[in-house]
A and B are shown apart, each in its own frame.
Chain A
Amino acid sequence: MSNLKDLRGSSAIVGVGTFGNGESPGFTDMELLARSAHAAVADAGLKMSDIDGLCSASIGASMWTMPVIEYLGLNPRYIDGTMVGGSSFIAHLLPAMRAIRSGQCSAVLVCYGSAQRTSPVGRREIGQLRRLVDPQPYEYPYEPVLPASAYALAASRHMHEFGTTREQMADVAVAARAWARLNPEAFMRDPLTRDDVLRARMVSDPLTVRDCCLVTAGGGAYVMVSAERAKSLPKKPIYVLGNATAVWNRQISSMRDLTVTSAKQSGAGAFAMAGMKPNDIDLLQLYDAFTINTILFLEDLGFCPKGEGGRFVENGSIAPGGKLPVNTNGGGLSCTHPGMYGIFALIEAVRQLRGEAGERQVKGAKTALAHGNGGTLSSQSTAILGTEETV
């Protein structure tokens, strides 16, 4: 009987790539994906013909891995189209590690692209279509704006139970913007204050538009190979030390406790596999679809006690120069959010651990946690990454 711990550090991310972040008028989802995939494969020092494993997911196309394989001219022996929303590309890690360990494949490409901001098909049309093909008959009749209203409900409960304030949530957005100002790839880089967030247009109380992630275009991709093979490739390998995924519900109305997400389970699983604790982590990339997410995940992943997340993020403590670096690319709030953000959290963790993060580089970072969220606090996937000395 094999143990998940046996997989710790068995695979490494050896290539990452992004393309078209922000505005990319005239590009399709697939074109953004393909450019990102090409960049990641080149970064790995490989050719597209070396890729024999493929993972991808799409919000729109339910058979998405097939057109991706066709478009890139691949013949993969390992295919994973698992779609659990924005966390999918982090959830793709562990099964791919198993596939590499077993010899089923040797080089896995995980890739994503979305033209959400600039697509000729608007979000309103997609929303109407979704009501038909993916109905939620016990929520849609009440006309929530999903996903925002679901996160707003969670925020209302966190405020009620723990005294979390709108100001504390605003500080999450302010910290993300401060990091984005150090990242030339970030989409929004103007200064942002707490008051700017509080006075922005209210979307679904208590969340203003500045508590909500961006709507951008963009693509992202990464390449993973065995730890042995990684040593022969040009870039500093970043090892996967732990990964776990959890789903407790789909609908926000089916979530048992709106202040506790299944990140509690995915985080515990990833830490157990890595044999590590929150104290061992140098920097975090948390899927900040909304400001409340960062607070919930800091708690559920064990970086502060339940209910303390609001106080934890106050006054620049997760901003550049603060006590814990969180979302160093600017996150979904200020860097990029083309429909699903998870892969970008992982890519930023890799860039930080490689020492490639320029002005926003966290000095001497050896370990990172990248956390994905999907749906309406529905799926959670946690990855722990490290440099060679942590394996």
Chain B
Amino acid sequence: MSEPKGVEAFHQLELNAGHFLIQRCTDCTGHVYFPREVCPHCGGTSLEWIAPKGTGTVYAVTTVRRKAGDGGDINVSLVDLDEGVRLMSRIDSPVSNATKIGQRVKSRVQVNDGKGLVVFDAMQGGAL
């Protein structure tokens, strides 16, 4: 299979291989996530892939309440990476309803059935 041309497919393939990448604009130096073809800060197309440090801070948090048969309760958080971009994700440890806004977290790529997904774990040292 040839290398995918679109950034969405490329980003997912890298995740599937265990690599979490974000973009950086070489024109305006802004970081970009989710992946774009065009920089949302400056309108340029000079976006390069970089590996983020993986560290970030929980910006907002909820627990989706579900019946056990539907998978049980699950954490959904918005995480601000130290590079300045935000993404939706899940704080996998500790257990979901313990997550607090301001918690420092570290990314991890979880691969299930060949499909990669960025999740986060709480870091020692707790909240900012």
Partner-B contacts on A (CB < 8 A): 137-139, 141-145, 149, 152-154, 156-157, 160, 201-206, 251-254, 258
Binary flags per residue of B69-112, CB closer than 8 Å to A gives 1, else 0: 00100101110000000111110000001000110000000000
CB-CB under 8 A from B101, the residues of chain A are: 156-157, 160
CB distance from A293 to the nearest CB of B (A): 16
B6-62 CB contacts (< 8 Å) to partner A: 8, 12, 34, 59-62
Partner-A contacts on B (CB < 8 A): 8, 12, 34, 59-65, 71, 74, 76-78, 86-90, 97, 101-102, 117
CB-CB under 8 A from B8, the residues of chain A are: 137
CB-CB under 8 A from B60, the residues of chain A are: 153-154, 156-157, 160, 258
CA distance A152 to B101 in the complex (A): 13
CA distance A152 to B60 in the complex (A): 9
8 closest A-B pairs by beta carbon, nearest first, are A152-B62, A153-B60, A253-B88, A138-B34, A157-B60, A160-B101, A205-B63, A144-B76
Other A-B contacts than A142-B76, A142-B88, A202-B63, 15 sampled, CB-CB below 8 A, are A142-B74, A143-B64, A153-B61, A156-B60, A156-B101, A160-B101, A204-B62, A204-B63, A204-B64, A205-B61, A205-B63, A206-B62, A252-B78, A258-B60, A258-B78
Residue of A nearest to B70 (CB): A143
CA distance A152 to B97 in the complex (A): 14
CA distance A156 to B76 in the complex (A): 12
Q: Is the CB of B62 within 8 A of A143?
A: no
CB distance from B106 to the nearest CB of A (A): 17
- Given known A-B contacts A137-B8, A142-B76, A160-B101, A253 and B65 have beta carbons under 8 A apart: no
CA distance A270 to B4 in the complex (A): 45
Q: Is the CB of B74 within 8 A of A143?
A: yes
Q: Is the CB of A149 within 8 A of B117?
A: no
CB-CB under 8 A from B117, the residues of chain A are: 141-142
CA distance A138 to B118 in the complex (A): 10
CA distance A353 to B12 in the complex (A): 54
Residue of B nearest to A158 (CB): B60
CB-CB under 8 A from A160, the residues of chain B are: 60, 101-102
> Which residue of A144, A201, A258 is within 8 Å of B64 (Cβ)?
A144
CA distance A206 to B60 in the complex (A): 11
CB distance from A136 to the nearest CB of B (A): 9
CA distance A156 to B101 in the complex (A): 8
Residue of B nearest to A206 (CB): B62
Residue of A nearest to B117 (CB): A141
CB-CB under 8 A from A139, the residues of chain B are: 88
Q: Is the CB of B62 within 8 A of A153?
A: yes
Q: Is the CB of B65 within 8 A of A138?
A: no
The contact sample of 18 A-B pairs, CB cut-off 8 A, is: A137-B12, A138-B87, A141-B117, A142-B117, A143-B71, A149-B76, A156-B60, A156-B62, A157-B59, A157-B101, A160-B60, A201-B65, A204-B62, A204-B63, A204-B65, A253-B86, A253-B87, A258-B60
Residue of A nearest to B59 (CB): A157
CA distance A253 to B64 in the complex (A): 16
CB-CB under 8 A from A202, the residues of chain B are: 63, 65
Max chain A Cβ within 10 angstroms of own Cβ: one of B12, B62, B87, B89:
B62
CA distance A258 to B78 in the complex (A): 10
- Given known A-B contacts A144-B76, A153-B78, A205 and B59 have beta carbons under 8 A apart: no
> Which residue of A204, A206, A253 is within 8 Å of B78 (Cβ)?
A253
Q: Is the CB of A205 within 8 A of B65?
A: yes
Q: Is the CB of A144 within 8 A of B88?
A: yes
CB-CB under 8 A from B71, the residues of chain A are: 143
- Given known A-B contacts A142-B88, A253-B87, A258 and B65 have beta carbons under 8 A apart: no
Residue of B nearest to A257 (CB): B59
Q: Is the CB of B87 within 8 A of A205?
A: no
CB distance from B110 to the nearest CB of A (A): 10
CB-CB under 8 A from B12, the residues of chain A are: 137
Max chain B Cβ within 10 angstroms of own Cβ: one of A139, A141, A203, A206:
A141
CA distance A215 to B16 in the complex (A): 38
Residue of B nearest to A259 (CB): B60
